[in-house]
Structure 1
Amino acid sequence: MRMHNADESCGTAQAAKVLGDWWNVLVLREIARGRVRFDALASEIGLSRKVLTERLGRLVTQGVLHRSLYQRRPVRYEYLLTEAGAALLPLLVAMQEWGDRWMLGDGSVTATASADGAEHTRVHALTGTRLPDGLDLPGAGGEELPLVSPDAAATVVFAYPGTGVAWEEQIPGADGCTQENRLFRDAWPDFRRAGVDVRGLSTQLVDEQADFARAEAIPFPLLSDASHRLAAALRLPTFRGAGRLRHKRVIVVVDAGRTVRHVLFPVVDIPRAVTESLHLAARCARTA
């Protein structure tokens, strides 16, 4: 459909050319989740091969995706996000947060979730799935670090809203982030004796996390998901606090093969959840 001439200089209209199409949004959602090959996309979305071919070609032409050859006979491509495509991830996560809050929820801002809600179902569906490759995120020192430790039999990843913020007591379920980090810090020797590594995760900036890690002597990496790569890849639930999309508190136990073995969500009793994650991860490590 031809756009009105006024749309030619409108950034919103130009973005709508990409995100205004239902199938384009779902294709990008699945590619962000690591489903980068044609058959995997067609199977997950339930789209005809003809329509999927058309949408992929359009997204490549628009500079959002690029094709990468992974097989010559027959010729097969993977569809990967370009820099412009990766820059759309915060928009996808914001769309998910809006849908969770206004379409699937009652419109209230909360950092937790009910056991019968869509977020609970989506997060617990991660159990048994393998994490996408290449999920390296910036650590507190600025270096890219793997989400799953390459040297441990199991890794515990705990996502939290943010530390050192005054607004957290105003939003149900948001407070307790400093306490959670301290509890994981104090239990760190027990995790290491069990062959388990720990990763803390928030959407805070690297320098914010670095200041907190130094002040609290945090011995494990704190990873920044400010770009929302992980939130998009795992469809993690978020909420908006102090003008920023933030992770709701969730803990996942991942084995050395990058398969999610256990999920704790929602996390209401933080001390109990830390203890439970240690027991689950230690058991996972023993059976590795």
Structure 2
Amino acid sequence: MKMHNADETCGIAQAAVVLGDWWNVLVLREIARGHVRFDALAAGLGLSRNVLTERLGRLVAAGVLRRSLYQRRPVRYEYLLTDAGSALLPLLVAMQDWGDRWVLGDGSLTATAEGDSAEHARVHALAGTRLPDGLALPGTLGADPALVPPDAAATVLFTYPGTGIPWGDPPIPGADGCTLENRLFKDAWPDFRRAGVAVRGISTQLVHEQVEFARSEEVPHLLLSDASHQLAAALGLPVFRGAGRLRHKRLILVLDAERTVRHTLFPVVDIPGAVAESLRLAVDCARTGAGTGSGPWTGTVPG
């Protein structure tokens, strides 16, 4: 790429050199989704092997990917994000938000979605998708816990925009109700626990903000921070920009013991109804998937 002298000190220009063209961006998108092996990338992108090899080489040389040997005969590598590559995830998610709003949508700022929207189709297509291995988010317990506990019969992940936030005047449609949702999951916690179902609430708020909320509301379920947008990038989850930050739109995923999405609820308009439905779906998932986990989940949340 030809650059002007002024571009030498321009961060946008230098980032454009690394990203190069749309294939580089889509390669990074697929790797963020857990498709880290060459054949999976080629199949997912429909890209020729020669072109994919060249793009991967560029991204490795730029320091945003690293190769990790997983097979010696024949030699095979996985392509993993470096720290510099992981730092691109917010950019990818912001691009998705812009595309959803301004290209695929009508430009309206909303925390929900219409039934015929691209976001709606994308979320409901997640059924059958397995979470990438090793994906973990910091949470209110301090360490980075597993999104899906290995001993849970099923897991409910619910994403929400954020608690304790003034959404402006006029308020952003669909953004309000996060405290209510957490309280309803808290009320239903004994039922989830008896069924061996784990519950995780996820927002892009920082951990210390979540800890303060969990303490004040005596939240029994774990809250996880996706401030680095790992989960949003991994699953292509819909987001919106509100109160100065990219935030998850409200949705619910029910996963089995093998970390596979079995049910999706989106958009979540009737919050009490969605919480009750997630319990029903999770209990059914736990019942039909009995024996697939490593043992009964106790539902115990350390102090």
- TM-score between the two structures when normalised by the length of structure 1: 0.99
User: Distance in 2 between the 1:146 and 1:84 partners?
Assistant: 23
1:237: which partner in 2? 238
Deviation at 1:171, TM superposition (A): 0.4
CA contact (8 A) 2:119 2:238 kept: yes
In structure 2, what residue type is equivalent to 1:284?
C
Q: Which ranges of structure 1 fall in alignment gaps of 5 or more residues? A: none
Deviation at 1:275, TM superposition (A): 0.3
1:27: which partner in 2? 27
Measured against aligned partners, the alpha-carbon deviations of 1:209-261 in whole angstroms (never above 9, x if no partner) come to: 00000000011110000000000000000000011000000000000001100
User: Distance in 2 between the 1:200 and 1:170 partners?
Assistant: 22
Deviation at 1:3, TM superposition (A): 1.4
In structure 1, what residue type is equivalent to 2:187?
D
> Is 1:57 equivalent to 2:57 in the alignment?
yes
> Is 1:131 equivalent to 2:140 in the alignment?
no
CA contact (8 A) 1:141 1:206 kept: no
CA contact (8 A) 1:31 1:81 kept: yes
2:281: which partner in 1? 280
For 1:217-256, what aligned pairs fall within 5 Å after superposition? 217-256=218-257
SS in 1 for 2:68: strand
Q: CA RMSD in A?
A: 0.9
User: Distance in 2 between the 1:263 and 1:165 partners?
Assistant: 26
CA contact (8 A) 1:137 1:223 kept: yes
1:183: which partner in 2? 184
1:121: which partner in 2? 121
Deviation at 1:2, TM superposition (A): 2.5
CA contact (8 A) 1:65 1:81 kept: yes
> Is 1:44 equivalent to 2:44 in the alignment?
yes
Measured against aligned partners, the alpha-carbon deviations of 1:127-172 in whole angstroms (never above 9, x if no partner) come to: 0111111111000133101111222100000000000111177000
Measured against aligned partners, the alpha-carbon deviations of 1:241-287 in whole angstroms (never above 9, x if no partner) come to: 01100000000000000110000000000000000000000000001
User: Distance in 2 between the 1:269 and 1:241 partners?
Assistant: 21
Mean Cα deviation higher: 136-145 or 93-102:
136-145
In structure 2, what residue type is equivalent to 1:9?
T
CA contact (8 A) 1:140 1:206 kept: yes
> Is 1:262 equivalent to 2:263 in the alignment?
yes
User: Distance in 2 between the 1:21 and 1:50 partners?
Assistant: 16
User: Distance in 1 between the 2:271 and 2:131 partners?
Assistant: 25
Mean Cα deviation higher: 146-155 or 171-180:
146-155
Identity of aligned residues (%): 78
SS in 1 for 2:137: strand
Mean Cα deviation higher: 272-281 or 147-156:
147-156
- TM-score between the two structures when normalised by the length of structure 2: 0.94
Deviation at 1:42, TM superposition (A): 0.4
User: Aligned residue pairs: how many?
Assistant: 288
CA contact (8 A) 2:232 2:238 kept: yes
